[in-house]
Structure 1
Amino acid sequence: MSIISRLSTVAIALGASLSAHAADIQFTSKLQDAKSLVVFKAEDQKASFKFLDKATRTQLSKAIETENFEGKFGKTVEVIAPVSSDYARILVVGLGKEDELNASKMTKLGGNLHAKLEDKKSETVAISFESFEGEVNNSELAAQLAHGINLRDHTFEVYKKEPNTFNISYSIDVDSKRKAAKEYLTLEHIQSGVFLARDLTSEIASEMTPVDFANAAKQLEQYGVEVKVLEPAEIKELGMGALEAVGRGSAQGSRLVIAHYKGNNDTPIALVGKGITFDSGGYNVKTGKSIALMKVDMAGAAAVLGTVQAMAKAKADVNVVAVMPMAANMVSENSFAPGDVLRTAEGLSVEVLNTDAEGRLILSDALWYARQFYKPEIMVDLATLTGSKIRAVGNNYSAIFSEDDQLVKEFTLAGKTVNEQVWRLPLGYKDALKSDIADLTNIGSYGPGATTAATFLQQFVGDTRWVHIDIAGNAISKKTKDEVPAGGTGYGVRILSEWLLSGN
């Protein structure tokens, strides 16, 4: 059954969680009753806990002293509350140095706190957070804590016989519940985009074809997003020979999906996302265990679509268009083959030396389309593009390429803020892309693979300010960490949203 016809797709379309549970969060002006209580201790402050009864304060103090608990960031002490207490369990959480608290740290803390409380099966949790400030104010810190909780809570479990249905209700006591709720509302919209991207990425390839992805994108129309889908005949008519060729081996062929949220009349920002719904490698077929993860090769497209949804739901003052070339790189009698020469819409011809270097091919035509039809101020492309990137910087960073120092600076700051950090790698080695019979080859004859791939893309951006972000290795996680669960990570939605909302 197609993903679009399943009930789970309603959740995907709305950017909600596909998990059977979601943490319920409310901000309060006084501490609520609950089974578990969370209190905090900063590293440079003495904890008094004056709001608790004497017996509870005494027990907490003894536990802190016994465990030599200093309040270092992320460290915890747990105690069973006295019989006289309104709570069954109390968790003391270290904040580190209070003046160093920021959005990044609080999001991580929220994710790890939720994991611990879920493991303890704490159904109701009261959090005392009204007395803390840091690099940002109490309301923003509390909102980021809640953000981390729900980012960690989201899981993709539609194929499990018994999905996790356990739910936690949180009440967070803050300085101003109105201000905290307002701060969190924007983060909720960003979460919806992250969850959309995660769900699309985690879905199996046979249920997430280019047509399925296009149908999911159309659901954003309910938020005022203009969605357009170009089919193979239209793609071919426009001269996008690279995109057409990569999808030719599959029954559905290629699609170009465009989602435009026009929150103002400024010159648009174009986000271009690689959308290979399954990458067999083509005739240069992939081998080994890695092929089972190739449903993830559309994570760039999922991230830019999630970002557009986040901006639309937030009614953000931005003009942003996502251009997503979609194809399944399959093997059939119709597939493009090694040695073929493809004509891109840019007019440049490309000699195909390896059919497993297909992402840059579809992106070349998508970058041209974004320039040709939207004349953007800036183009940013996201792609699970190269294994070379993973070898260069691993999975904790994405790789950023650009000749625009200001854009690199902006994305570096945005990445640090939202825990999606980037590391700059160089462009260059253009001569490695020389071909005897075409304008370019699709792989370099020498040099670092991540760089030659980025330099290939650079040939299709014209004079437009441009950033390429290689998210290979970032798009899926085999284990939970901080605010990110196992599975599709939605990497890219948060850094793009932060950059857009910061006024780039």
Structure 2
Amino acid sequence: MKLMTHITAVALAVASSGSALAAQFEFTSKLTDGDTLVLFQATDTKTEFKFLDKDTRTQLNKAVKATAFSAEYGKSLEVLAPIDSDYDRIVLVGLGETDELTIAKMAKLGGNVHASLAQKKANKVVMAFEKVSGLANNSELAAQFAHGANLRDHRFETYKASKTTTSISYTFDVADDNATSKLYKQLANIEQGVFLARDLTSEIASEMTPVDFAQAAKSLEQYGVKVTVLEPNEIKALGMGALEGVGRGSKDGARLVVAHYKGSDEAPIALVGKGITFDSGGYSIKTGKTIALMKGDMAGAAAVLGTVKAMALNKTKVNVVAVMGMAANMVSENAIAPGDVLRTAEGLNVEVLNTDAEGRLVLSDAMWYARKHFNPEIMIDVATLTGSKIRAVGDRYSAIFSDDKHLVKELTMAGKQVNEQVWRLPLGYKDMLKSDIADLTNLGSGGPGATTAASFLQHFAGDTRWVHIDMAGNELSSVAAGEVPTGGTGYGVRLLSEWLLSNQ
């Protein structure tokens, strides 16, 4: 049975590199045949669509007037069975103000338009995109629209008896087809990293244990990524008592998974991911229906692994290593108990006041390992860490913590570019982590929970430039919107990829 689990994980990781049912995209210099024609209109630009037949154009203009279509961003108008046209439908999409049309808005628009066309059962869609302009050039906007559409098209249907059997083929009429194709190829590689992260997060906990995650990570070796997996005895021998302790309650124990893509000889960037494949809370057990969502508590690890895949596929000239502390936080006779003390590899002893504050424990040893073995220039940890973060900024932002204002600024800008926004929260309240019997506790005795958790992690950053991203609430979506379908979101892959590509 366990062999089947391993095969499932590896197949899942490999399958994310492409699907026969995925949307298809072609960029050309002319309009082609299809069943659906998509036109675009900005609020501040008069587009006459002279390439349409006169009667078709008259019908479209009449529909625009009758519906008072104003071309606001995201609004659309559909004309069915247009007169003297080979298309079954024409869809007019509003772009809003030209000087407000960003690549982020275009990607989101692509996702929403794709979802609408899929619902209409469109099959072959022609995009009249040549005259579209905004704050980026025509090629960038077209590539981002396709990017958003394909991100929204992704689906996790492993456990559905009735699976999606249709797909949409897009042809874009653009100003420069070669430039657009080149730009989209880079985005398509980032998509593969997102899809990997989504699939790993969406997979059920019994099929995505630390062992399975490690096997999935191994699939990146085909792209030139060096993958190392440390097992419980090796973890313990290195003194990583926090990671080993959290994994002690599960049958397979913890794993440390390291995926290193060395695209340059510069000092590496370390991405550290929290990988709790299921979080029961341990003896401080979770209650309520949200426990069913705890398969997503490894989304930070999935995000950093997906980012490494994206960089490797793009052959980016960057030295990046993902270090992922993997464990299932379970209840058993071997599990740690509230009040236990764990010794971290940093040499600090932690009194475990709450076994449900386990993410910071696995991260503490993973951060130490990243510093000790790779001496990174910058270290960024990504984790679904605290409910406090959700109460502070909700699920439309992740929370970012750092004393390095330049890194905060860079990551904030990167997030805006890809619709994965971050909001800075303060570090502090370290005095709330004092313990009577150890060096510190794993739970603050007061103060904001997201901040005390971040301040706990700061003990393990050393002198390295460091950022903590708390993405709790961003990992799973129950409502599809923009580029994001339901299920695992892959949050963090595009944020980190954009930052790496912008600063290489």
Q: TM-score, normalising length from structure 1?
A: 0.98
Contact 1:17–1:154 (Cα < 8 Å) also in 2: no
Measured after TM superposition, the shift of residue 122 of structure 1 is 0.4
Distance 2:121 2:402 in 1: 47
Distance 2:14 2:400 in 1: 30
C-alpha offsets along residues 415-474 of structure 1, whole Å, 9 cap, x if unaligned? 000000000000000000000000000000000000000000000000000000000000
Cα gap change, 1:3/1:175 in structure 2, threshold over 3 Å: closer, same or farther?
farther
Indicate the residue corresponding to 1:342 in structure 2: 342
Which residue type is aligned with residue 14 of structure 2? A
Distance 1:64 1:83 in 2: 15
Indicate the residue corresponding to 1:330 in structure 2: 330
Is 1:299 aligned with 2:299? Answer: yes
Contact 2:12–2:199 (Cα < 8 Å) also in 1: no
Which ranges of structure 1 fall in alignment gaps of 5 or more residues? none
Describe the SS at the equivalent of 1:78.
strand
Describe the SS at the equivalent of 2:305.
helix
Is 1:379 aligned with 2:379? Answer: yes
Mapping for residues 210-229 of structure 1, pairs under 5 Å: 210-229=210-229
Contact 2:282–2:329 (Cα < 8 Å) also in 1: yes
Distance 2:361 2:377 in 1: 23
Measured after TM superposition, the shift of residue 98 of structure 1 is 1.5
Distance 2:6 2:84 in 1: 53
Residues 385-394 or 80-89, more deviating: 80-89
Indicate the residue corresponding to 1:122 in structure 2: 122
Which residue type is aligned with residue 445 of structure 2? S
Indicate the residue corresponding to 1:395 in structure 2: 395
Indicate the residue corresponding to 1:93 in structure 2: 93
Distance 2:242 2:380 in 1: 20
C-alpha offsets along residues 281-318 of structure 1, whole Å, 9 cap, x if unaligned? 00001010011010000000000000000000000010
Contact 2:55–2:83 (Cα < 8 Å) also in 1: no
Is 1:248 aligned with 2:241? Answer: no
Mapping for residues 15-30 of structure 1, pairs under 5 Å: 15-16=16-17, 21-30=21-30
Measured after TM superposition, the shift of residue 4 of structure 1 is 3.2
Describe the SS at the equivalent of 1:416.
helix
Is 1:13 aligned with 2:14? Answer: yes
Distance 1:170 1:437 in 2: 64
Indicate the residue corresponding to 1:503 in structure 2: 503
Measured after TM superposition, the shift of residue 11 of structure 1 is 4.6
Indicate the residue corresponding to 1:470 in structure 2: 470
Contact 1:308–1:321 (Cα < 8 Å) also in 2: yes
Measured after TM superposition, the shift of residue 47 of structure 1 is 2.2
Measured after TM superposition, the shift of residue 21 of structure 1 is 2.4
Indicate the residue corresponding to 1:68 in structure 2: 68
Query: RMSD over aligned Cα, in angstroms?
Result: 1.1
C-alpha offsets along residues 192-246 of structure 1, whole Å, 9 cap, x if unaligned? 0000000000000000000000000000000000000000000000000000000
Is 1:206 aligned with 2:195? Answer: no
Which ranges of structure 2 fall in alignment gaps of 5 or more residues? none
Mapping for residues 90-239 of structure 1, pairs under 5 Å: 90-239=90-239
Contact 1:56–1:81 (Cα < 8 Å) also in 2: no
Give percent identity, aligned residues only. Answer: 69
Distance 2:157 2:5 in 1: 14
Contact 1:316–1:501 (Cα < 8 Å) also in 2: yes
Indicate the residue corresponding to 2:275 in structure 1: 275
Q: TM-score, normalising length from structure 2?
A: 0.98
Which residue type is aligned with residue 11 of structure 2? V
Mapping for residues 396-475 of structure 1, pairs under 5 Å: 396-475=396-475
Cα gap change, 1:380/1:494 in structure 2, threshold over 3 Å: closer, same or farther?
same
Contact 1:78–1:90 (Cα < 8 Å) also in 2: yes
Distance 2:14 2:131 in 1: 39
Measured after TM superposition, the shift of residue 132 of structure 1 is 1.7
Indicate the residue corresponding to 1:313 in structure 2: 313
Which residue type is aligned with residue 238 of structure 1? L
Contact 1:35–1:124 (Cα < 8 Å) also in 2: yes
